[in-house]
Structure 1
Amino acid sequence: MCYHSIMEGKFMEIKIKIFQEALKDKVSTNTLKSYTTILRMILDGKLEVKSKARHDQASAVLTKAKEIGLDVDYTLTKWSKRGDKNIKKNIIDKLIDNDKLNKILTACPNTDKGNELRLAILISYNSGLRLSEVLALKPTDIVLNGYIRLNIQGKGEKYRTTYLNKSANINLDNFNGFNINIGYVEANITRIALKTGINFTFHSLRHTFATTLLKGKVSLPKISKLLGHADISTTAIYLHTLDEVDDAMKNLGF
């Protein structure tokens, strides 16, 4: 490795440290981890903006960096749906059916961390939670009252209620929270995708959940509330706080 590359790597780590120190008391631990991952990809020239969610994440990171006076040489272009015609096809291609799910679960490491990864995958597949939301789950966030209710702190530090599909028979009796982190999950998901030949990311689990609900006739506003979308539509903004499982969800096993 040349001297220039070594120095670039050191400068990148210094910037990341400055960023983390400046924000550690201003955002949640999981948000900071997500921001750090995005910042690292930006500085390393590996950021791919293929969705509005990723665009919003990158925009938030660049805004925070500017606020603390951190120089980040990156120009984020304005998001345009017309500029990404392949998004819908990309989502469809990465949907996960039961056969693919079983192959993915089988390919997880046979270790304690691997068991946690399996649980994280199952929870997201059956609830639509984001990776950061899954890993932030605590035993006190899970409420059993005929349904499996999850109290979630999502993006933007906003709280919402969602549900875990009962028909999945996920055992949470001894759940004490996750010890694995985002880096471990993403690295293993990449490895599993290569090993199984299945084109997917962890976020594909969330897309699959939403698609399953749509096919099951659950209303779009209900789905937007379950997923914690902030900008799905004007109608969704005015919905009442979600606190009940509706009939369409019951038919899907909630």
Structure 2
Amino acid sequence: MPKLEKSLPKKIRKEEAFRLLEIAYNYPYTKKYLKYRNHAIFSLFLFAGLRKSELLHLKMTDVDLENFTIFIRKGKGNKDRIIPINSNLAKSLQRYLVERKKNYKTCPEFFTSCNLNQGFTNSGLKLLTNKLKEASGISFTIHKLRHTFATLMLEGGCDIYSLSKMMGHSDIKTTTIYLSATAEHLRAQIIKHPLNDFVT
């Protein structure tokens, strides 16, 4: 069978990612809890590249803000992995945890329902995604945010091996597709060539 060509992963622009996080934080929610929880959710997608199922199954014991790490249990392919997190993400998660405690949430799931003491659900995340799509005017899916994370990491200088580990890819070839997605970034970099100013 001939190999089917892989299309480039769809992503949102860096400016759109900033805007999405801004709106997740500043949306006129009815409760402060929603502001901090929803910003933490979208920060995790954009700063750590989690899959939807990985975020929904995240437990309190999986998040270690002292050591700036997140433990993903039984990700795709039933594999565990550890993802390092940066200070921006840690700050967002910490804010949420303070609010979570104030709201007496004691269930083992990291992200919880606003009104109930139970884990945030897939349908809840779907409703939230639709709300933020409408408010921001940005067309995105959770998977598109994962692709955005991968592309931004490469553009920021992350090596392909490290990214592969963070994404939880069993084969590094899966990660290399993101190299093509950074062509736009490469075009912007080529103007830095030292001979560009040389005129014959």
Q: Runs of 5+ in structure 2 lacking a partner? A: 101-105, 113-119, 177-200
Percent identity of the aligned residues? 28
Identify the residue that residue 11 of structure 2 maps to in structure 1.
Answer: 91
Q: Is 1:107 paired with 2:27?
A: yes
1:128: how far off?
A: 1.1
Show the 5 A alignment for 1:1-254: 81-82=4-5, 85=7, 87-88=8-9, 90-92=10-12, 96-107=16-27, 109-111=29-31, 112-113=33-34, 115-145=36-66, 147-153=67-73, 154-168=75-89, 169-172=91-94, 173-174=97-98, 177-179=110-112, 180-233=120-173
* Residues 17 and 46 in structure 2, CA contact (< 8 A), matched pair in contact too: no
In 1, Cα distance between equivalents of 2:174 and 2:137 = 39
**Kept after mapping to 1: 8 A contact 2:49/2:167:** yes
State how far apart, in whole Å, the 2-side matches of 1:194 and 1:103 are: 11
Asked if structure 2 preserves the Cα contact closer than 8 Å seen for 1:95 and 1:200, the reply is: no
Greater RCO (CA < 8 Å, at least 6 residues apart): 2
* Matched residue type, 2:92: I
Q: TM-score, normalised by structure 1?
A: 0.51
The aligned counterpart of 2:190 is none
Provide the rounded CA distance (Å) in 2 between the counterparts of 1:230 and 1:186: 28
- Tell which deviates more after alignment, 94-103 or 126-135: 94-103
Q: Cα–Cα, structure 1 residues 108 and 139, in superposed 2: closer, same or farther, change >3 Å?
A: farther
Matches of 2:175 and 2:45, distance apart in 1: 26
One-letter amino acid of the counterpart of residue 204, structure 1: K
Distance 1:130 1:94, change over 3 A: farther
How far residue 223 of structure 1 moved from its aligned partner, in angstroms, is: 0.3
Which amino acid letter does the alignment assign opposite residue 128 of structure 1?
A: G
**Counterpart-to-counterpart distance in 2, 1:178 and 1:117:** 9
CA displacement at 1:118 relative to structure 2: 2.5
> How many Å separate the matches in 1 of 2:57 and 2:170?
20
Quote how far apart the aligned CAs of 1:105 are.
3.5
1:206-229, Cα deviation, whole Å (9 max, x unpaired): 222212210121111110100111
